[in-house]
Amino acid sequence: MLAYLVRRSAYGLFVVLGVIFFLFVLFFTVASPDDIARQAVGPKAMPEVIQQWKVNHGYHLPVWPGAGHLSDNLLVDHVQRMIAMDFGKSDADGVVIWERIRQGMWPSFFLTLPMFVIGMVASILTSLFVAFFRETYLDRWVVALSVLAMSIPTLLYIIFGQFIVGTLLRWFPVSGFDADPAVILRFLTLPVLIGVVSGLGSSVRFFRTVFLEEIHRDYVRTARAKGASEMRVMFYHVLRNSLVPILTQVVMEIPFLFTGSLLLEAGFGIPGLGAATFEAISANDFSTLRAMVFLGSLMFIVGQVLTDIGYTLVDPRIRLDA
Amino acid sequence: MLLEVKELTCSLRLAGQEVPIVDGVSFNLQAGKCLALVGESGCGKSMTALSLLRLQPKVAHIVGGQVLLSGKNLLGYSVPQMYQVRGREMSMIFQEPMTSLNPVVRVGQQVMEAVMLHEQVSKKAARSRSIELFKRVKIPQPEQRFEAYPHQLSGGLKQRVMIAMALSTRPKVLLADEPTTALDVTIQAQILELLRELLQDFQMAMLLITHDLGVVNQIADDIAVMYAGRIVEQAERRQLLTQPQHPYTRGLLGALPGRAAPKAALSEITGSVPSPAHWPSGCRFRPRCAEAMERCGHAFPELIQLGETRVACFARQTNQEDR
Amino acid sequence: MMELSNSPSAQAMLSNGIVVSLLALGGLAARAVLRNELWRAAFARVLGLRRWSIVVLSLYVAVALLDSVVWVGGSMQSEDQVASFEARSVIDRLFVDTTEKGYSAPMARVEFYDKSPLLHPQRHLLGTNILGQDVLYVTLKGARVALLIGGLTSLITIPLALFFGMTAGYFGRRWDDLVFFVMSTLASMPGILLLIVLIMVLGKSTVSVCVALGVTSWVGFCRLSRGETLKLREMDYVSAARSLGVSHGKILLRHILPNLMHLVIITFVLLFSGLVLAEATLAWLGIGVDGSWGQMIAVAKDELSRDPVVWWNIVPAGAALFGLLLSVNLIGDALRDVLDPRTWGSQD
């Protein structure tokens, strides 16, 4: 199994390199440093101004390695910095990107972690419940509701959530954030709630499908024949066997925890990483965007390797063949 | 008499109608004896067994009859009461050992679960009891095999685990739904031998579902033949195999290679089994029966005792009347 | 990125051309389906299950088509002389001469804030927006944008993903390693972020947005078709065909592809709704396609905090978006249930 771990991690590393290279191509060839400079200083600026901007931001080196500058070019520079996770400064306001990440990390976390945990628990419980009542009216209603819920875009959830709960009912503030433990719940409750509700539709549908597939399997019939109650069948047998797809789903959410929910943070004025990304978009801040994508990818790849290891723990068939 | 089944009827909603896929089935099971329920696929034999434990699929409903276990009607039990019957007084083993065991739980654990669901014993006690059962069902190296996962065991071993699981609480009745169909022929013989032994030692009653007459010959004491949801003939093993009465039974036995004269063509039953939505009126075997009469299309032949056999056939009744 | 000739007639020809080819494509597909018994039965079932959703979806398609049939010239009595030289669609012409100066409530006679009389009193079923445009008009135009994003992008993404997935699964080894690596790399980048980054880099035109959406969504289906192809490759009938000397190309086309078609259809429908949703998100972030419902919603968000509330901008756009997504999702669900190969035996 150790060999498997090593192989898996090695492949993960390869993918990281792939991402670095992809980002390079995207940011330095498809959009050339000249374009970026022009976007920052204005399309009609003088060549000297553009050149100066490029020097200030480190974009002045030749793009590809070539004769005379094998290590003194943007490609090598980019690769080195990405590997070292030195993201440099923001193109827009010169702030060191790691600073911004450090600041924004916590508000994002406070938002996405509860959202993730509550959402996961709520959808799994609902799906188990629905699987228990499969083929009854309850099941059909829940499925219909899920499809309905899935068809409402997140922005509408945010807008209407804010409008109804914030403006009409005045239960919670519509936006803003204060990390002071005394008041933090007031600001987080609404966004967390809306985040959970907007994701419930698709999660419940997904988990329901997974559970229903398991519940029709032969070993479930055996368990019932042994005298296991329906509850035990669902919570022990079915759940245990559904862990592989559940784990997969969980991993897909991991980068989300770090990059923060763009929509929610922008809509609720929470100063997390998502909001930082949002500002980067309007400010054409390529270096920040680059950093965010890279960070997200890193998280995801790490998550994937961890899940693959997780699979071996959860499913003995995979463990003993690996 | 451990189990009495009287007029059990279970129906399915097909094409807008309620179709009784188990139609007025009656039989008795006695301690230490095995009744084989024989028939082609789709005749309702598996559904009958499932109905006894009320494990029939959600789309099927038990609409009539009685299932008397030691005198008490299981059909009247509440669901929590059924939890106490299943695996404890009446157990079932299934056809596909490959998929019938939980793939992510060790087999020993699964047998322990069967014990701990019904008796208040410590884990240690359950564990040692399970290992004893492993020995009883002749699983070699029982302590090691206890920790194994299902996919690490062969089909035969898995089926032995299933049997151990089913017998862990010394049930009165064992239902076996084609337990050997998915196994190699040599293993098949071993498993049947084992079941035979356990039947005697535990003094259980067994209902064996199968479509394989060879299996029947090895282990059954009595045989009941099912066709399209009804029992059409029932007799003691030797009696049925040597003197079959119902045209269907005769057809089945006539199709066995061993019985035909050398170089003679195997006889076959013309036509094919009708699907439940298209059952003919009157006797359901009529369209395929060489002895079909006018009567057969109008009414159901009831299962009547004719000599040593119980048979549901107007042709046989007519024979009887003619004597 | 791609700047076609700007002349109105060129635009008109392109738009009409696309309409015609789409209709032709639809006709061919319909014919292929009707010819095959299994497909015909499947679609008949879906038709029965989801009649209303199909009706609603057809309405959307009809409006979008009406908005795509364009020609230059027209009535000279319009207030806007410039407009008569542009390529305008059927919808455009229905709503010619309806602009006001600013907000007005549905079916009102006066402007919303300063109460001055409207130029076209009681003509605006859903009121007017901040630019004075009839809200019903703007909403109807959004249909074309939504279907363009969802439909056109899918039409391009799916064949590409199918090609890569099928060939990767079938031929294996080096090519498969390469495709798998590219898939892993792209898939490891969080979707929204990748989308944003691509648009920032490629530009904000409709075409760029579609390309960006395509790049972020092809991996899912590629993976799916690769997985299925791997399974199909092991099937006995493929080995049989190989042993008879059938070429790889023929096997792919005749044996593998037809068995992937049900996935293609389901993916197309579900991808469609995913793409429309994604574009709405982009609009919220300020980088959506002009004229889309997402953009309307994003812009109209602030109006809900005005006093008195201006609701008639966001409600039609939201309802239109919801209606489209709901009907597509319902149809997609029904299709998935019907086309699942496991249910294809039980037609008794």
Which one of A312-316, B272-276, C220-224 scores highest in mean pLDDT? C220-224
Mean pLDDT (whole number) for A289-297: 85
Residue A77 forms part of a structural domain? no
Q: State yes or no: pLDDT of C130 exceeds 90.
A: no
Query: CB distance from B81 to chain A under 8 Å?
Result: no
Domain encompassing residue C201? 136-330
DSSP-assigned beta bridge partners for residue B18: B13
Lowest mean pLDDT among A247-261, B32-46, C147-161, C179-193: A247-261
B33 versus A322: the higher-pLDDT residue is: B33
Residue C120 forms part of a structural domain? no
Q: State yes or no: pLDDT of C17 exceeds 80.
A: yes
Q: State yes or no: pLDDT of C262 exceeds 60.
A: yes
Which residues are within 8 A (CB) of A315 and not within 5 positions of it... i.e. 6 or more apart?
Answer: A243, A244, B103, B104
DSSP state of C118: P
Q: Considering only CA atoms, which of A204, A201, A198, A197 is closest in space to residue A131?
A: A204
Q: State yes or no: pLDDT of C289 exceeds 70.
A: yes
Which residues are within 8 A (CB) of B207 and not within 5 positions of it... i.e. 6 or more apart?
Answer: B3, B29, B34, B35, B37, B49, B52, B173, B174, B175, B176
Q: Which residues of C touch B14 (CB under 8 A)?
A: 348
Domain encompassing residue A220? 102-275
For A101-158, the DSSP string reads: HHHHHHHHHHHHHHHHHHHHHHHHHHHHHHHHTTTSHHHHHHHHHHHHHHTS-HHHHH
Helix (DSSP H) and strand (DSSP E) numbers for chain B: 12, 12
With CB atoms and an 8 Å threshold, state whether C192 touches A289.
Answer: no
Compare all CA atoms of chain C with the CA of B16 and give the residue at the minimum distance.
C348
Q: State yes or no: pLDDT of C330 exceeds 50.
A: yes
Percent of chain C with pLDDT over 90: 7
Q: Which residues of A touch C190 (CB under 8 A)?
A: 255-256, 259, 293, 296-297, 300
Percent of chain A with pLDDT over 90: 4
Q: Which residues of B touch C348 (CB under 8 A)?
A: 14-15, 275, 277
Tokens standing for C338? 């019907």
Residue C257 forms part of a structural domain? yes
B268 versus C283: the higher-pLDDT residue is: C283
Residue B67 has a pLDDT of 92
Distances (CA, A) of C117 to A203, C98, C110: 51, 14, 4
For C184-214, the DSSP string reads: HHHHTS-HHHHHHHHHHHH-SSHHHHHHHHH
Q: How confident is the model at residue C5 (pLDDT cuts 50, 70, 90)?
A: low
Query: CB distance from B116 to chain A under 8 Å?
Result: no
What would the pLDDT profile of B178-199 be if each residue is shown by its tens digit? Answer: 998 888 888 888 999 999 999 9
Say what the alpha-carbon torsion angle C27, C33, C34, C38 is, to the nearest 10 degrees: -170
Q: How confident is the model at residue B316 (pLDDT cuts 50, 70, 90)?
A: confident
Q: How confident is the model at residue B165 (pLDDT cuts 50, 70, 90)?
A: very high
Residue A322 has a pLDDT of 47
Length of chain A: 322
CB interface of A with B, residues 127-156, below 8 Å: 134-135
Residue B113 has a pLDDT of 92
Q: How confident is the model at residue B37 (pLDDT cuts 50, 70, 90)?
A: very high
Strand order in the sheet with B60-69: B17-29, B3-14, B60-69, B72-73
Residue A160 forms part of a structural domain? yes
With CB atoms and an 8 Å threshold, state whether A147 touches C329.
Answer: yes
- Rounded CA gap, B316 and B42, in Å? 25
Q: Which residues of A touch B117 (CB under 8 A)?
A: 226-228, 232
Residue A82 forms part of a structural domain? no
Which residues are within 8 A (CB) of B40 and not within 5 positions of it... i.e. 6 or more apart?
Answer: B211, B227, B273
- Rounded CA gap, C175 and C183, in Å? 12
Residue C313 forms part of a structural domain? yes
Q: How confident is the model at residue C1 (pLDDT cuts 50, 70, 90)?
A: very low
Q: Which residues of A touch C149 (CB under 8 A)?
A: none
Q: State yes or no: pLDDT of A74 exceeds 70.
A: yes
Residue B91 has a pLDDT of 93
Q: State yes or no: pLDDT of A243 exceeds 80.
A: yes
Pick from B79, B86, B105: CB nearest A226? B86
Whether a cis peptide bond, with omega within 30° of 0, leads into C308 is: yes
Residue C89 forms part of a structural domain? no
Q: Are C1 and C208 in contact (CB under 8 A)?
A: yes
Q: State yes or no: pLDDT of A10 exceeds 70.
A: yes
Q: Which residues of A touch B79 (CB under 8 A)?
A: 230
The alpha carbon of residue C201 is apart from the nearest alpha carbon of chain B, in Å, by 48
Residue A62 forms part of a structural domain? no
Q: How confident is the model at residue C347 (pLDDT cuts 50, 70, 90)?
A: very low
Q: What are phi and psi of B91, to 5 degrees?
A: -120, 165
Compare all CA atoms of chain C with the CA of B274 and give the residue at the minimum distance.
C348
Residue A185 has a pLDDT of 76
As for how many domains chain C has, the answer is: 1
For A229-253, the DSSP string reads: -HHHIIIIIIHHHHHHHHHHHHHHH
Mean pLDDT (whole number) for C161-182: 89
Residue C279 forms part of a structural domain? yes
- Rounded CA gap, B276 and B14, in Å? 8
Q: Are C95 and C125 in contact (CB under 8 A)?
A: no
Mean pLDDT (whole number) for C6-31: 82
- Which residue is listed with tokens 């071996």? A312
Mean pLDDT (whole number) for A71-94: 76
Residue C164 forms part of a structural domain? yes
Residue A85 forms part of a structural domain? no
Phi-psi region of B25 (alpha: psi -120 to 50; beta: other; left: phi over 0): beta
Q: How confident is the model at residue B261 (pLDDT cuts 50, 70, 90)?
A: low
Percent of chain C with pLDDT over 70: 89
Q: State yes or no: pLDDT of C2 exceeds 50.
A: no
Residue C297 CA neighbour count, 13 Å, CB half: 32
Q: State yes or no: pLDDT of C322 exceeds 60.
A: yes
Mean pLDDT (whole number) for B144-148: 90
Compare all CA atoms of chain C with the CA of B15 and give the residue at the minimum distance.
C348
Residue B39 has a pLDDT of 87
Number of inter-chain CB pairs under 8 A, A vs C: 114
What would the pLDDT profile of B70-92 be if each residue is shown by its tens digit? Answer: 888 999 899 899 999 998 899 99
What would the pLDDT profile of A96-106 be if each residue is shown by its tens digit? Answer: 888 888 888 88
Residue A61 forms part of a structural domain? no
The alpha carbon of residue C36 is apart from the nearest alpha carbon of chain B, in Å, by 25
Q: Which residues of C touch A26 (CB under 8 A)?
A: 197-198, 201
Length of chain C: 348
Q: What is the amino acid identity at position B225?
A: V
Q: What is the CATH number of the domain that holds C278?
A: 1.10.3720.10
Residue C175 forms part of a structural domain? yes
Residue A207 forms part of a structural domain? yes
Mean pLDDT (whole number) for A204-213: 87
Q: 3-class DSSP state for residue A169?
A: coil
- Which residue is listed with tokens 């063949």? A321
The alpha carbon of residue A293 is apart from the nearest alpha carbon of chain C, in Å, by 6
Q: Considering only CA atoms, which of C149, C153, C146 is closest in space to residue C320?
A: C146
Q: How confident is the model at residue C348 (pLDDT cuts 50, 70, 90)?
A: very low
For B281-310, the DSSP string reads: SSSTTGGG-TT--SGGGTSPPP-EEETTEE
Q: State yes or no: pLDDT of A25 exceeds 50.
A: yes
- Rounded CA gap, C94 and C247, in Å? 56
Which residues are within 8 A (CB) of C139 and not within 5 positions of it... i.e. 6 or more apart?
Answer: C126, C293, C296, C316, C317, C320
Q: State yes or no: pLDDT of B5 exceeds 80.
A: yes
With CB atoms and an 8 Å threshold, state whether B92 touches A135.
Answer: no
CB atoms < 10 A from the CB of A147, how many?
Answer: 18
DSSP-assigned beta bridge partners for residue B93: B176
Mean pLDDT (whole number) for B240-251: 86
Q: What is the CATH number of the domain that holds A210?
A: 1.10.3720.10
Residue C3 forms part of a structural domain? no
As for how many domains chain A has, the answer is: 1
What would the pLDDT profile of C91-127 be if each residue is shown by its tens digit? Answer: 777 776 677 777 777 777 777 777 777 777 777 777 7
Query: CB distance from C198 to chain A under 8 Å?
Result: yes
Number of inter-chain CB pairs under 8 A, B vs C: 4
Q: How confident is the model at residue C345 (pLDDT cuts 50, 70, 90)?
A: very low
Q: 3-class DSSP state for residue B112?
A: helix
What would the pLDDT profile of C32-78 be if each residue is shown by its tens digit? Answer: 888 888 778 888 888 888 888 888 888 888 888 888 887 776 655 55
- Rounded CA gap, A9 and A307, in Å? 12
Residue A15 forms part of a structural domain? no
What would the pLDDT profile of B272-315 be if each residue is shown by its tens digit? Answer: 778 887 888 888 888 888 787 888 888 888 888 888 888 888 87
Compare all CA atoms of chain A with the CA of B162 and give the residue at the minimum distance.
A222
- Rounded CA gap, C115 and C128, in Å? 14
- Rounded CA gap, C166 and A65, in Å? 36
Q: Are B222 and B237 in contact (CB under 8 A)?
A: yes
- Rounded CA gap, C322 and A148, in Å? 9
Which residues are within 8 A (CB) of B237 and not within 5 positions of it... i.e. 6 or more apart?
Answer: B36, B216, B217, B220, B221, B222, B223
With CB atoms and an 8 Å threshold, state whether B104 touches A218.
Answer: no
Lowest mean pLDDT among A27-31, C193-197, C271-275: A27-31
Pick from A19, A151, A281: CB nearest C200? A281
For A170-219, the DSSP string reads: -SS-SS-----TTTHHHHHHHHHHHHHHHHHHHHHHHHHHHHHHHHTSHH
Q: How confident is the model at residue A179 (pLDDT cuts 50, 70, 90)?
A: low
Q: State yes or no: pLDDT of A152 exceeds 60.
A: yes
* Beta-strand pair B17-29/B3-14: antiparallel
Q: Which residues of B touch A224 (CB under 8 A)?
A: 55, 86
